[in-house]
Amino acid sequence: MGWLRPNRVDARQEQLDAILAENVLASSKAEATADEIAESVQAEEAALLAAIEDTRLRRLAREKRARERARRDPGLAAVNEVLKLLEGRS
């Protein structure tokens, strides 16, 4: 196992220290980039969830308005039921 000893390496300590410093810097940059990506993904996920919730609330409001109109006009209620069946939302 003599090949593991530092004195068997044909590099000066300064070179090894420089390589180590470069690796530490590259690792730090990679971690910072990973953190930025994670934050970006979380922000996009939050925006997507907000858009989904907004769409759901608008759909519920639209359905509520349709029910109100149907209560006032029985013929419209029948049309709404047919539309629901055609859309597959029975």
Q: Is 77 exposed, middle or buried (0-12, 13-18, 19+ CB in 10 A)?
A: middle
**pLDDT > 80? residue 77:** no
pTM above threshold 0.85: no
**Residues 61, 80: Cα–Cα separation, whole Å:** 15
- Cα 20 from chain centre: 35
8-62 per-position pLDDT tens digit: 556 788 888 899 999 999 999 999 999 999 999 999 999 999 999 999 999 999 9
Query: What are the residue ranges spanned by the domains of the chain?
Result: 2-87
